[in-house]
Amino acid sequence: MSEITSIQSPARRQTQTSIGEPITRTDGVLKVTGTATYAADNHPANLLHAVMAVSTIAAGRVTHLDVDATKAHPGVVDVMTPDHRPELAKDPDERDDPFMFRLDLLQNDRVRYPGQPIAVVIAETLEAATEGAALLAPQYEAETPRIGLNAGEAFVPDGVGPGEPAEAGVGDIEAGLARATRRIDAVYETAPQYHNPMEPHAIVAAWNGDRLTLDTPSQAMAIARGRVAGLFGIDAENVHIRSPFLGGAFGCKGMILSPQALGIMAARMTGRPVKLVVRREQMFGPLGHRAPTRQTLALGLDDEAHLTGLSHHVRTASSVFDDFFEPAAGVSHTLYASPAIHTAHDAVRLNTGTPLFMRAPGEATGSLALESAIDEAAAACDMDPLAFRLANYAEVEPISGKHFSSKRLRDCYAQAAERFGWAKRSRAPRSMRDDNGLLVGWGVGTATFPVVMFQGHARAVIRADGSGLVETGAHDMGQGAWTALAQIGADSLGLELGHTTFRAGSSDLPDAGVAGGSGHTATAGNAIHNAGRDAIDKLAELAINDQASLLFGAERRDIVARGGRLVLSDSEARSDSYRDILGRAGLAEIEGRGTGSPDQTAQERFAMHAHGAVFAEVKVDPDLGQIRVTRLVGAFAAGRVINPRMVESQFFGGMIWGISFALHEQATIDRRSGRVMNADLAEYHIPVNADVPSIEAISVPEQDRHINALGVKGVGEIGITGTGGAIANAIWHATGVRPRRFPIGIDDIL
Ligand code: MOS
């Protein structure tokens, strides 16, 4: 079995710093040559294959499984069912941590949602396990499932998202709306969506006594380790997770969920390594999704087109057995100035798998509705939608009253508008056509995403040969962590990128925190930055106290690290190389440690968000209603840019998710059975290249001294916010029909 945790950063031309360089991915060649090992590429000796059987009903009980028929099938080794499974140290229905969701580990015969695992067949080959699972022929006692946002009485959850209040506000919303001279009332609906990374969840689990080795894609190895340790009653130190490469994640690989835990149970039960790979249709059940929302907005406006009140109410859903509530109204706390704001969430419980964090949870869903409603307000005031947004620009965060740590949203609007050619837009809907007679529409949406940081750690080493090593258990979902973090590492050690080895993707390295909330570079990057600084401090200490050094007696603050040397900042002539300093001290290496974590004081003082503006052009066939996005231009201000190439590609990815949200993605639920009717990538539509037009993403330079030492905000998710709204608003401009249901289809506009 290969284990890639270490990537030698590419050699490159001599420059002062590697931060800010648009270098290509350090893991790119491994990926395009098929050398990168994803979890399912591991084949330890003596491997068994496990296949889940999943429920075809949404609610009820499993009354019979034909285990005998399955066991009689050649190659089948064992069948895990509620009657025959390893004991667990922790009840899968116990939840005492916001990041440890309730699991379905065959604890009983209950079925709570369609696609729930009800048995696991373990066999010598994948084929035998697959056939064995089919032979189980489950029988059920079905109950009527709870389906859709009108199922049962709604309730107010204790909190939404990861620990935000369900209700919030500022000012008197009733009075604010009452004094409006114009009012917009609108209801927007978004469909359930499933993450569907290209790489489905997979695990290769191998026990050695009480030690466990796991190959599984993870966005948060330390959390995963803790979850596994708790379930199986072993020390977290005994769980080694290898997760060097992920084929996408989007939030659904943030935790160990039921299929991975079942793979570990199967290995425990059989005493052999087990591989369990989730099939595409099985991704639409136990692995999280974005819940549907129904969002009711009320906007009051005075005669100067200023908001007098903004009310944003969200109805969403969780599963019948666990809590995750899409925090969709949160964007209304941030984006527009209003003396009165009120946001609230309520929810129903449905027979679905538990919803989860998915691609800007809350911000993506909420900004679709808010940006549409703001556009409706602009139209009601007969104003240009960009001018309307500028008229209601939030100088401070409206709901908290805090100043922004930085906010270059005006520049985003200006630069993207200029690039797009917004000034040439004609105001009235249905007023623009192209040469082929297609209706042309232009729309704008505002993007926003909070600055999130977790706690992460890193180790940085300078070796006697003058080279560097940087280690942190970071996760590369495809976003470029191998590259951007290596750049920060080289910089922090004052070394060329080619003289630095970067190790990541394994739980035996320092915990890098979570690759989520768009906060991985901020978290792991600042940990690396601090670790490098710590190593340089120690090295400087050696030189300052070494009579043989040209830096003897110098002040630490006058010394900078660059090109493998410590240099006195006011005298290039006084310097000393890392190699010489360590050599004279007789040391093989010197080690620094660092932590990256949110600055509580700054967080109390400032509102911290990235911002952006997205402009969209659509063309609509006036006869057929066919909608095409033909152009997207976004400009984003998200703090310091570590690697412009990676950042641009993150913006592109986010904007493509936005196209997807506006026009493509939805799980269609059968009203009788509760099952997802399009549980495959042929019918669960995502944008293909033909759906993705010319996209441009502009990085607006932004310095932020408050958020963290590196000044990094986060770029992973902001692109999905703003884009969907811009497309919806462009469709209105093209057609005169206001879409209020997402994804927008032909039937919504004809
Ligand atoms: Mo993301 S939904 O923070 O992985």
C-alpha closest to that of 659 among 631, 621, 636? 631
Question: Above 90 in pLDDT, residue 155?
Answer: yes
Ligand 1 close to Cβ of residue 358 (< 6 A): yes
359 lines ligand 1 (CB under 6 A): yes
Nearest atom in ligand 1 to 251's CA: 4
Question: H-helix or E-strand containing 224?
Answer: helix 221-232
Edge-first strand order for the sheet with 589-596 is 6-8, 500-503, 468-471, 456-463, 589-596
Q: What is the pLDDT of residue 257?
A: 98
Which atom in ligand 1 lies closest to the alpha carbon of residue 518? 3
Residue 8 has pLDDT above 90, yes or no: no
Q: What is the 3-state secondary structure (H, E, C) of 381-442?
A: CCCCHHHHHHHCECCECCCCCCEECCCCHHHHHHHHHHHHCHHHCCCCCCCCECCCCCEEEE
Count the alpha carbons within 13 Å of 247 in the hemisphere toward its beta carbon.
Answer: 17
How far lies 605's CA from each of 171, 402, 405, 554, 705, in Å? 21, 7, 8, 37, 13
Q: How far, in Å, is the centroid of ligand 1 from the Cα of 358?
A: 5
Q: What is the pLDDT of residue 6?
A: 86
User: Over 50: is that where the pLDDT of 1 sits?
Assistant: no
The architecture (CATH level 2) of 40-144+201-277 comes to Alpha-Beta Complex (3.90)
CA of 461 to the centre of ligand 1 (A): 31
Cα atoms in the Cβ-side hemisphere of radius 13 Å centred on 506: 15
φ, ψ of residue 441 to 5 degrees: the values are -130, 140
- 485 alpha carbon, distance to own chain's centre: 17
Q: What would the mean pLDDT of 285-312 be, rounded to a whole number?
A: 98
pLDDT in tens, 279-295: 999 999 999 999 999 99
Please tell me the distance from the alpha carbon of residue 116 to that of residue 284, in angstroms, as a whole number. Answer: 9
516 pocket-lining for ligand 1 (C-beta < 6 Å): yes
516 CA from centroid of ligand 1 (Å)? 4
Asked whether residue 2 carries a pLDDT value surpassing 60, the answer given is no
167, 161 contact by CB (below 8 A): no
ipTM of the complex: 0.98
pLDDT value of position 4: 73
> Does residue 733 line the site of ligand 1, with CB under 6 A?
no
Which residue CA neighbors atom 4 of ligand 1 most closely?
A: 251
pLDDT confidence bin for 16, thresholds 50/70/90: low
Query: Which residue among 246, 451, 717 has the greatest number of ligand 1 atoms within 8 angstroms of its CB, and so is best to mutate?
Result: 717
So what's the pLDDT on residue 571? 80
pLDDT in tens, 703-748: 999 999 999 999 999 999 999 999 999 999 999 999 999 999 999 9
Name the CA dihedral angle for 85, 86, 87, 90, rounded to a multiple of 10 degrees.
-100
Q: How far is residue 331's CA from residue 362's CA, in Å, rounded to a whole number? A: 8
What separation in Å is there between the alpha carbon of 721 and the centre of ligand 1?
13
By CB atoms closer than 10 A (0-12, 13-18, 19+), residue 560 is: middle
CA 717–ligand 1 middle distance (angstroms): 8
Torsion of CA 569, 575, 581, 583, to 10 degrees: 160
pLDDT digits (tens, 9 = 90+) for 58-93: 999 999 999 999 999 999 999 999 999 999 999 999
Task: State in Å: Cα 252 to ligand 1 middle.
Answer: 8
361 lines ligand 1 (CB under 6 A): yes
Contact 275 CB / ligand 1 (< 6 Å): no
Region 432-451: mean pLDDT is: 98
Distance 593 CA to ligand 1 centre (A): 27
Distance CA 170, CA 310 (A): 10
- Atom index in ligand 1 nearest the CA of residue 519 equals 3
Strand partners, 463: 589
Domain residue extents for the chain:
6-35+455-597, 40-144+201-277, 293-452+603-749
Same fold, 6-35+455-597 and 293-452+603-749: yes
Per-residue confidence (pLDDT) for residue 7, from 0 to 100: 85
The reply to whether ligand 1 has any atom less than 6 angstroms from the CB of 657 is no
Beta bridge partner(s), residue 484: none
Q: pLDDT: is 516 or 13 the higher one?
A: 516
Ligand 1 centroid to 69 CA: how many Å? 42
Q: What is the average pLDDT across 574-599?
A: 97
250 is written with which tokens?
């989007």
- Residues 649/475, Cβ–Cβ less than 8 Å: no
> Quick check: 546 pLDDT over 50?
yes
Read off the pLDDT band of 14 (50, 70, 90): low
Q: What is the chain's mean pLDDT, rounded?
A: 96
The alpha carbon of 627 and the centre of ligand 1 are apart by a number of angstroms equal to 29
Candidates 246, 357, 521, 661: which one to mutate for ligand 1, based on the most atoms within 8 Å of Cβ? 357
Ligand 1 atom with the shortest distance to the CA of 254: 4
558 pLDDT exceeds 80? yes
Q: Which atom of ligand 1 is nearest to the CA of 357?
A: 2
Determine the Cα–Cα distance for residues 477 and 25; give it in Å rounded to an integer.
13
**CA nearest to 264, candidates 256, 254, 274, 255:** 274
pLDDT of residue 3: 63
May I ask the CATH architecture of the domain 6-35+455-597? 2-Layer Sandwich (3.30)
Ligand 1 geometric centre to CA of 483 (Å) = 20
Cβ–Cβ < 8 Å for 200, 277: yes
pLDDT at 12: 64
Residue 52's identity, in one-letter code, is M
Q: Kindly state the helix (H) or strand (E) to which residue 90 belongs, with its residue range.
A: none
Q: Is the CB of 385 under 6 A from ligand 1?
A: no
What ligand 1 atom has the least distance to the C-alpha of 219? 4
Per-residue pLDDT tens for 185-215? Answer: 999 999 999 999 999 999 999 999 999 999 9
Rounded distance from Cα 106 to ligand 1 centre (Å): 28
Q: Has residue 32 got a pLDDT over 80?
A: yes
pLDDT exceeds 60 at position 13: no
Pocket lining: 475 vs ligand 1, CB cutoff 6 Å = no
Q: Is the CB of 251 under 6 A from ligand 1?
A: yes
CATH tag, 293-452+603-749: 3.30.365.10
Sign of CA dihedral 113, 204, 229, 249: negative
DSSP-assigned letter for residue 160: B
User: Is 186 exposed, middle or buried (CB count within 10 Å of its CB: 0-12, 13-18, 19+)?
Assistant: middle
Segment 363-401, tens digit of pLDDT? 999 999 999 999 999 999 999 999 999 999 999 999 999
Minimal CA–CA distance to 129: which of 276, 284, 269?
A: 276
Spatial separation of the C-alpha atoms in residues 453 and 512, rounded to whole Å: 11
Query: Residue 733 in contact with residue 428, Cβ under 8 Å?
Result: no
**Distance between Cα 612 and ligand 1 center (Å):** 19
Residue 581: both structure tokens together: 């300093």
So what's the pLDDT on residue 15? 56
Alpha-carbon gap, residue 516 to 520, rounded angstroms: 6
Plot region of 625 (φ>0 → left; ψ -120 to 50 → alpha; else → beta): left
273 C-beta closer than 6 A to ligand 1: no
Q: Rounded mean pLDDT of 555-569?
A: 95
CB of 254 sitting under 6 A from ligand 1: yes
Look up the pTM and report it. 0.97
> What one-letter code names the amino acid at 13?
R
Q: Report the separation in Å between the CA atom of 246 and the middle of ligand 1, taken as the mean of its atom positions.
A: 14
Least confident of 23-37, 392-406, 610-624, 647-661: 23-37
Q: Does 113 sit in the ligand 1 pocket, CB within 6 Å?
A: no
Question: 517 in ligand 1 pocket by Cβ < 6 Å?
Answer: yes
- For ligand 1, what atom is nearest to the CA of residue 452? 3
Distance 217 CA to ligand 1 centre (A): 14
Alpha-helical regions (H) of 21-66:
28-32
- CA 305 vs CA 300, 301, 332, 380, 411: distances in Å: 9, 6, 17, 9, 22
Question: Do 618 and 734 form a contact (C-beta atoms < 8 A)?
Answer: yes
pLDDT at 501 over 90: yes
Segment 654-675 mean pLDDT = 97
